[in-house]
Amino acid sequence: SADTIISSQNIRSDLHREILELLRMSSFILFVTLLAIYVVYRFFRFPRNYPSGPWCVPILGYFPFMGSQSSHFTFAQMKKKFGNIFSVQLGMLDCVVVHGWELVSEVHKDKEFVGVPGIISMILASGSEHSDKRKGLMFTDYQPWSKIRKVCVQGMKSSGFERSKMEPIIQDHINVLCEDLKLNNGEWPNFYDRLHTMYYNIVWDMLLDTSFHDEKRKKRILEIVASFFNSDAMEVALVNFTPFLYKVVLKFGLFGIHKLKAEHEELLEMIMDIIKDHRQDLNSL
């Protein structure tokens, strides 16, 4: 009958509402439970003397509150509230930020603190995600780093690479920069780039007894290095500090990772060519 059909529809409608309400309540209870577990886990995970820091979002950490400015500006603001040593969660990695020359020097004296994180930027720059296979003085952990540093220091000392030799080189490049500023009436539209070039000129002059000047190849090296260290966009930073995204990013080429890899390979190729030319110059002496 019509009454029976209407009654049946009402029952199904009421049942449907009850199920939806139950699901909403269950989802809320599950969320609160997981949040409570996370808070308790974070509270008991660290020792009592662990530095204090801001509250962070699970998985994302403090990234949603970092803003568009460079991270060191945000950390400088946080220093005013939490002091020279504070903790912050970046992505899924727990970090301790240290401010001040004396404190940083004190930290660097202990070999336990000279490890390099296996973030995606370091993997690209060093050529490997395994710390014992990384290349370069900047990207290796303590043991390989100490060996490479020892070889570098011995080589520099044996070639008379001392302060008395470095100061004239630095002074010459500063004088060139000052003269350029005078010619431009103290104005320089891309002064940061010019300053950056001066830094690399000094290092290059010390190592290979030559400067960058206007050579296209060496200018390209500057462009790649600058773009690599300036790649601090939020998505790249998030990938750096969210380890489970590594493989996905590398496999599917997300966030321009293929471009970064191509530039890194181009950089290595140009440097190897320069080393080859330098060896030929030395052999001809």
pLDDT tens for residues 150-173? 887 777 776 666 666 777 888 888
Q: Is residue 120 part of a domain?
A: no
Domain boundary among 113, 141, 158: 113
Are residues 81 and 32 part of one domain?
no
Are residues 58 and 41 part of one domain?
no
Question: 183: Cβ–Cβ under 8 A, 6 or more apart, which residues?
Answer: none
Number of compact structural domains in the chain: 3
Are residues 70 and 27 part of one domain?
no
Are residues 178 and 146 part of one domain?
yes
27-41, 159-173, 226-240: least confidently modelled range: 226-240
Q: Is residue 207 part of a domain?
A: yes
Are residues 192 and 77 part of one domain?
no
29-33, 65-69, 124-128, 251-255: least confidently modelled range: 124-128
The answer, yes or no, to whether residue 2 has pLDDT greater than 50, is no
Q: At 234, is the pLDDT very low, low, confident or very high (cuts 50, 70, 90)?
A: low
The answer, yes or no, to whether residue 206 has pLDDT greater than 60, is yes
Are residues 169 and 34 part of one domain?
no
Q: Is residue 126 part of a domain?
A: no
Are residues 266 and 173 part of one domain?
yes
Q: Is residue 167 part of a domain?
A: yes
pLDDT of residue 1: 47
pLDDT of residue 18: 74
Are residues 80 and 28 part of one domain?
no
Q: At 3, is the pLDDT very low, low, confident or very high (cuts 50, 70, 90)?
A: very low
Are residues 182 and 58 part of one domain?
no
The answer, yes or no, to whether residue 104 has pLDDT greater than 60, is yes
Question: 104: Cβ–Cβ under 8 A, 6 or more apart, which residues?
Answer: 98
Are residues 236 and 200 part of one domain?
yes
Domain limits for position 16: 1-45
Instruction: Name the more confident of 50 and 256.
Output: 50
The answer, yes or no, to whether residue 231 has pLDDT greater than 60, is no
pLDDT of residue 255: 65
**Alpha-helix residue ranges (DSSP H) falling in the chain:** 2-45, 71-82, 101-108, 120-126, 142-158, 163-183, 191-208, 216-229, 234-240, 246-252, 257-283
Strand 85-90 and strand 93-98: the pairing is: antiparallel
The answer, yes or no, to whether residue 4 has pLDDT greater than 60, is no
| φ, ψ (nearest 5 deg) of residue 98 | -115, 130
Are residues 240 and 174 part of one domain?
yes
The answer, yes or no, to whether residue 219 has pLDDT greater than 90, is no
Are residues 22 and 62 part of one domain?
no
Give me the count of residues in the chain. 285
Q: Is residue 240 part of a domain?
A: yes
Q: Is residue 124 part of a domain?
A: no
